């Protein structure tokens, strides 16, 4: 294709992660000249999904410590394979049979992303699977020979009714708490919520709802999925999270509250979004980032002069991207790693068994889910727990007869692998499922910085995804804010499109 | 207006642009012509296939028009009577097919007619699951099959109906048409499978155990299911006699049912359907209640008093943590009243306590003040 040198654009978007791709989608019918670039040679940016060989390359690139990866969200990446490769032993499939998500997220049915996917007419290109059951794993005390125990989390009234581990009192109290959570933001409960909000969840449950047994508290913690320890998990954090789960159950079908996009999670949504923008005239170039950006005083208008990593010089009215993709000359992004001590340690493990016991049907005659959530309890209330998202081969991320475990833990990684082993033990499968291949890395949060303040009016910063595993509504609202700024008075309705002529849709 | 969460679109919300009105005018003219045609034909006793097809068209547009269902049945009756009385030789094809089905050709023809009509009904039923006339016509078709066909053919059709009704109840577990139809289907299957021995006890067609298990399944997937709880209550007397349950077995059974409903009530005391079932269980102990067959044998005053004591105690405990639940107070008052009738000197409840419950009830549900005043007077509080 012709060189980009000396071209002029309405909008230059840097990075093809989810926030940037959603913006590209929102602009896909605007008629604006859009150049969408990514410094990697793959789509998806920080949310990319990788084949095995792509993962190996990625790990090489991000293997160093934080200072060597100053402009990346990731560092400390390592890979390990299992030893046994004898005949007949479970083996890895070929590289392209895998599509491993760097940041798998839970997309609750109530999320604002899903209606936008529908109204922007991209839903027909995406396949969503159910994330069905939630579990807790309780590890045996040190030195004990007993096994880790897997328990299913009750997710509604009928589950509570059937749960034999809860006595009558506990059932009553748990229902009472769930009823409170379901209406926590309504006027009738606002006073109460105000009183309770800074209490740790476990304390509030004991003192105000009569729930102190571990069998009742652990499932509620699992539904809240905190990154901090039990003692630090407040009502203020936990109640809205549990409410989101309760309010999402049954929205798309009985027995599940969240979905996952097939074939690689958020990366799939990003790709579909970019495709829509390309159909609308957007130009896509991989392997290029923005090296430098200055104001062009001589053109009279307030355009930006951008220099790409390949040396090309382009003009743009708007430059949009996430902080790490922005050149330092124009963004206030703090490059110092010291400022961002927060990181999540994450691992991706490919397991030699389909772990079918984690994927029971969502309801009588309901769908078979492709995702499950496991909360591995920590040793004490002052240490952190591990969250594991389990994806079956139905998610398109691995071959049949295997599954993928995505584990995350804030800070120190030593418990991460132990937690995965506890989960595999607790399933009581014989032969015990093995981890065939494992990758580990650190995911750094954005350093705290004021939103959208830049040295130029024409530079818009999008909020990147958090290191958490729940997709926040903020991601879409950040894209909407950027869209509004760029569209100005010409703005119609955000993400609301008619279906294109000639494009078949299964309604 | 929503029914069980499934929205119904009112006709008045349709688009009323000029274009839409013209289209609607044309549709009305077509419909009226179709209607006139069918009525004229039936008046002239024209029971041809054309008439039949016209009723299909009309009913697909308006399944609530029950007269047309009657006309359709007239046609079907006419055709089946003709088939069954036929003297002419069937074609080779027809004879072969009938042979395969194990039926004489004439009856096979009737079976095909019925099957085709059952097929015709399915999309209509899915679209209008609460239309009496569709369920009714289905019932009629199955009845015709039972009348004209040997038991083994008819029972196959009825068993397919059981599958269909389970699916419909899966879509909407609170559709009472479905539950009523299910009872009819079960009855028919049992009759046709009982081999005329009349013994419902141990006949191979006795479905009471599987139906009881079905209600358990439905309750577990949705506690608030009046129909499932009601059906369960209807099955219990037959279930126990079919098991030849003795005194001990009956006691165990009743205790297990109380345990189940208590567990449900602790989970959700605000659900009225659960209280109805608890009341039913209590009613079986009351010899004065003719509608609830006794479960226990014997069931005299002693047993009645004992259970009342136990349940009043149990319900009293439910108050803790659910002080705002009016159903609990209502149950306590009802059972206390009965207890005092049975055991006037019984120490389980005191009038003072009962007055306290009534006071709570008035506070929680002030709109029904008249009813509570009535209750107060009746109970002499």
Give the tens place of pLDDT for each residue, A187-206: 888 889 999 999 999 999 99
> Is the per-residue pLDDT at A331 higher than 60?
no
Q: Measured on CA atoms in the order B6, B11, B15, B19, is the torsion positive or negative?
A: positive
The minimum CA-CA distance between B266 and chain A, rounded to whole Å, is: 5
Distance CA A277, CA A483 (A): 14
What pLDDT, on the 0 to 100 scale, is given for residue A99?
95
To the nearest whole Å, the CA of A247 is away from the closest chain B CA by 15
Upstream peptide bond of A301 is cis (omega within 30 degrees of 0): no
Q: Looking at residue A453, what is its pLDDT? A: 47
Q: Confidence band (pLDDT; 50, 70, 90) for A339? A: very low
Query: What CA–CA distance (Å, rounded) separates A39 from A49?
Result: 16
Return the sign of the alpha-carbon dihedral for residues A71, A72, A75, A81: negative
Please tell me the predicted confidence (pLDDT) of residue B224.
Answer: 87
Mean pLDDT, chain A, whole residue set: 87
Banded model confidence at residue B195, pLDDT cuts 50, 70, 90:
low
Q: Which of B169, B262, B267, B323 to mutate to test the interface with A (most CBs of A within 10 A)?
A: B267
A178: Cα separation from own chain's centroid: 26
Neighbours of A228 (CB within 10 A): 14
- How sure is the predictor about A505, in pLDDT bands with cuts at 50, 70 and 90? very low
**Cα nearest neighbour of B314 on chain A:** A168
**pLDDT at B97 (0 to 100):** 85
Verify whether the Cβ–Cβ distance B262 to A364 is below 8 Å. Answer: no
pLDDT digits (tens, 9 = 90+) for A123-179: 999 999 999 999 999 877 766 666 788 999 988 888 899 888 888 988 988 998 998
Beta strands, E only, A71-177 = 74-81, 100-101, 107-108, 128-138, 149-152
CA distance A344 to A427: 26
Nearest to A13 by CA among A260, A264, A280, A337: A280
Q: DSSP string spanning A162-225?
A: H-TTS-HHHHHHHHHHHHHHHTTTSHHHHHHHHHHTTSBHHHHHHHHH---SHHHHHHHHHHH-
The pair phi, psi for residue B335, each rounded to 5°, is -70, -35
On the 0-12 / 13-18 / 19+ scale of CB atoms within 10 A, A10 is middle
The β-bridge partners of A386 are A376
For residues A358 and A427, give the distance between their C-alpha atoms in angstroms, rounded to a whole number.
9
* Residue B55 confidence class, pLDDT cut points 50, 70, 90: very high
Give the per-residue pLDDT at A332. 52
CA-CA distance, B2 to A489, in Å (whole number)?
40
A475: tokens are 């991601």
Structure tokens at B63: 């399944």
pLDDT category, B202, cuts 50, 70, 90?
very low
Chain A residues within 8 A of B163 when measuring between CB atoms: none
In this complex, the residue of B220, B221, B266 whose CB is nearest that of residue A168 is B266
| Spatial distance between the Cα atoms of A131 and B87, rounded to a whole number of angstroms | 64
Helix axes B226-242, B176-193, angle to 10 degrees: 20
Greater confidence, A393 or A293?
A393
CA angle A357/A393/A113 to nearest 5° reads 100
Confidence of residue B381 (pLDDT cuts 50, 70, 90): confident
Determine the pLDDT at residue A500: 78
Tell me the chain A residues in contact with residue B220 when contact means C-beta distances shorter than 8 Å. Answer: 158, 161-162
Neighbours of A164 (CB within 10 A): 6
Q: How confident is the model at residue B329, as a pLDDT?
A: 95
B142 vs B134: CA distance, rounded Å: 13
Report whether pLDDT(B183) > 90. Answer: yes
pLDDT: which is higher, A305 or A145: A305
Q: What is the mean pLDDT of residues B84-98?
A: 80
Structure tokens given for B12: 């008045």
Partner-chain contact B266 A171, CB within 8 Å: yes
Whether A205 has its CB under 8 Å from any CB of chain B: the answer is no
Tell me what the mean pLDDT of segment B2-11 comes to. 50
Q: For residue A135, what are its two tokens? A: 């579990």
d(CA A344, CA A340): 11
Mean pLDDT is lowest, of A320-324, B72-76, B259-263, B295-299, for: B295-299
**Rounded mean pLDDT, B45-59:** 92
Give yes or no for residue B25 having a pLDDT over 70: yes
CB B58 within 8 A of CB B35: yes
For residue B349, the model assigns a pLDDT of 84
DSSP E strand stretches across chain B: 2-3, 6-7
* Contact residues on chain B for A171, CB-CB shorter than 8 A: 263, 266-267
Give the residue from A392, A398, A441, A370 showing the smallest Cα distance to A100.
Answer: A398
pLDDT mean over A206-216: 85
Which residues 306-325 on chain B approach chain A with CB closer than 8 angstroms?
Answer: 318, 321-322
Average pLDDT over every residue of B137-159: 93
**Residue A455's pLDDT is what?**
55
Q: Give the least confident one: A102-106, A295-299, B195-199, B349-353.
A: B195-199
pLDDT digits (tens, 9 = 90+) for A245-264: 999 988 888 788 999 999 98
Is B377 within 8 Å of B343 (Cβ atoms)? no
- The better pLDDT of the pair A436, A83 is held by A436
Chain B residues within an 8 Å CB radius of A168: 262-263, 266
pLDDT at B114 over 50: yes
Indicate if the pLDDT at residue A90 is higher than 80: no
Minimum distance, in Å, between the CA of residue B296 and any CA atom of chain A: 26
**Closest CA of chain A from B68, distance in Å:** 33
Note which residues in 194-223 of chain B have CB less than 8 A from chain A. 217, 220-223
The first and second tokens of residue A444, run together, are 């750094």
CB-based contact B144:B101 (threshold 8 Å): no
Task: Identify the pLDDT of residue B200.
Answer: 46
Q: Which range, A329-343, B2-16, B336-350, has the best average confidence (pLDDT)?
A: B336-350
Residue A245, both tokens: 């789960």
pLDDT at A412 over 90: no
Q: Give me the residues of A, 164-193, that contact B with CB < 8 A.
A: 168-169, 171-173, 175-176
Assess whether pLDDT exceeds 70 at residue B3. no
Average pLDDT over residues A431-443: 92
Q: Which one of A360, A364, A366, A367 would you mutate to disrupt binding with B, by most B Cβ within 10 Å of its Cβ?
A: A364
How many Å apart are CA A424 and CA A421, to the nearest integer?
5
Chain mean position to CA A491: 29
């Amino acid at each position: 294709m012709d060189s980009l040198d000396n071209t002029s654009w309405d909008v230059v978007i840097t990075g093809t992660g989810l926030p940037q791709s959603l913006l590209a989608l929102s602009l896909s019918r605007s008629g604006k000249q859009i150049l969408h670039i990514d410094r990697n040679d793959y789509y998806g940016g920080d949310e990319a999904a990788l084949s095995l060989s792509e993962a190996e390359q990625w790990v090489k690139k991000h293997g160093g410590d934080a200072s060597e990866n100053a402009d990346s969200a990731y560092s400390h990446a390592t890979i390990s394979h299992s030893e046994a490769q004898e005949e007949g032993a479970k083996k890895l499939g070929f590289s392209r049979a895998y599509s491993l998500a760097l940041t798998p997220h839970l997309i609750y049915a109530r999320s604002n992303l899903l209606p936008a996917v529908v109204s922007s007419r991209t839903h027909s290109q995406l396949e969503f699977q159910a994330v069905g059951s939630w579990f807790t794993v309780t590890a045996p005390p040190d030195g004990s020979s007993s096994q880790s125990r897997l328990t299913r989390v009750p997710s509604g009234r009928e589950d509570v009714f059937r749960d034999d581990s809860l006595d009558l009192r506990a059932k009553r109290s748990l229902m009472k708490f769930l009823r409170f959570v379901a209406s926590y933001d309504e006027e009738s409960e606002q006073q109460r919520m105000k009183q309770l909000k800074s209490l740790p969840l476990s304390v509030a449950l004991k003192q105000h709802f009569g729930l102190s047994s571990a069998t009742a508290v652990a499932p509620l913690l699992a539904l809240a999925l905190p990154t901090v320890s039990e003692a630090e998990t407040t009502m203020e954090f936990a109640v809205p999270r549990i409410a989101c789960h309760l309010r999402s159950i049954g929205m798309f079908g009985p027995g599940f509250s969240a979905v996952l996009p097939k074939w690689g999670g958020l990366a799939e949504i990003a790709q579909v979004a970019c495709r829509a923008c390309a159909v609308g005239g957007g130009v896509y170039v991989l392997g290029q980032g923005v090296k430098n950006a200055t104001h062009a005083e001589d053109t009279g208008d307030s355009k930006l002069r951008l220099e790409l990593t390949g040396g090309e010089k382009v003009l743009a009215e708007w430059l949009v991207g996430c902080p790490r993709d922005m050149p330092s000359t124009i963004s206030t992004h703090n490059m110092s790693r010291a400022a961002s001590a927060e990181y999540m340690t994450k691992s991706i493990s490919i397991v030699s068994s389909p772990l079918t016991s984690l994927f029971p049907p969502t309801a009588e005659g309901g769908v078979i889910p492709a995702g499950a959530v496991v909360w591995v309890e920590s040793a004490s209330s002052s240490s952190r727990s591990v969250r594991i998202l389990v994806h079956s081969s139905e998610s398109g991320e691995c071959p049949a007869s295997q599954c993928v475990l995505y584990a995350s833990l804030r800070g120190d990684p030593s418990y991460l692998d132990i937690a995965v082993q506890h989960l595999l033990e607790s399933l009581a499968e014989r032969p015990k499922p093995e981890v065939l291949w494992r990758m580990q890395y650190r995911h750094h949060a954005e350093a705290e910085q004021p939103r959208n303040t830049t040295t130029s009016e024409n530079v818009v910063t999008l909020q990147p995804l958090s290191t958490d595993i729940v997709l926040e509504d903020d991601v879409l609202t950040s894209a909407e804010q950027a869209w509004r700024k760029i569209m100005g008075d010409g703005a119609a309705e955000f993400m609301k499109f008619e279906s294109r002529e000639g494009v078949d849709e299964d309604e | 207006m929503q029914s069980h969460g499934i929205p119904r679109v009112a006709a008045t919300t349709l688009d009323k642009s000029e274009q839409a009105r013209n289209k609607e005018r044309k549709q009305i003219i077509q419909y009226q012509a179709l209607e006139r045609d069918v009525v004229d034909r039936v008046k002239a006793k024209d029971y041809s296939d054309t008439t039949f097809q016209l009723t299909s068209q009309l009913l697909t547009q308006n399944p609530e028009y029950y007269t047309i269902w009657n006309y359709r049945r007239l046609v079907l009756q006419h055709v089946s009577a003709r088939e069954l009385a036929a003297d002419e030789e069937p074609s080779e094809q027809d004879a072969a097919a009938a042979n395969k089905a194990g039926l004489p050709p004439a009856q096979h023809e009737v079976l095909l007619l019925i099957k085709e009509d059952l097929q015709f009904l399915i999309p209509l039923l899915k679209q209008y699951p609460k239309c009496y006339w569709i369920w009714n016509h289905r019932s009629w078709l199955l009845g015709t099959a039972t009348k004209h066909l040997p038991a083994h053919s008819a029972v196959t059709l009825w068993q397919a109906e059981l599958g269909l009704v389970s699916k419909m109840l899966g879509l909407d577990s609170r559709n009472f048409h479905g539950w009523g139809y299910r009872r009819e289907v079960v009855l028919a299957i049992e009759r046709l499978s009982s081999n005329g021995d009349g013994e419902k006890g141990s006949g191979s067609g006795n479905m009471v155990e599987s139906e009881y298990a079905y209600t358990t399944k439905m309750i577990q997937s949705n506690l608030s299911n009046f129909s499932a709880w009601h059906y369960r209550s209807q099955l219990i007397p037959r279930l126990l006699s079919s098991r030849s349950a003795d005194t001990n077995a009956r006691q165990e059974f009743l205790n297990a049912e109380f345990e189940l409903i208590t567990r449900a009530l602790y989970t959700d005391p605000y659900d009225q359907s659960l209280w109805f079932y608890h009341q039913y269980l209590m009613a079986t102990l009351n010899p004065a209640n003719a509608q609830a067959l006794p479960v226990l044998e014997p069931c005299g005053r002693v047993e009645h008093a004992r259970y009342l004591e136990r349940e009043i105690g149990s319900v009293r405990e439910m108050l803790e943590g659910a002080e705002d639940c009016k159903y609990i107070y209502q149950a306590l008052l009802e059972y206390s009243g009965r207890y005092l009738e049975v055991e006037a000197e019984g120490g389980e409840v005191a009038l003072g306590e009962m007055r306290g419950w009534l006071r709570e009830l008035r506070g929680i549900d002030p709109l029904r003040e008249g009813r509570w005043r009535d209750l107060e007077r009746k109970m002499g509080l």
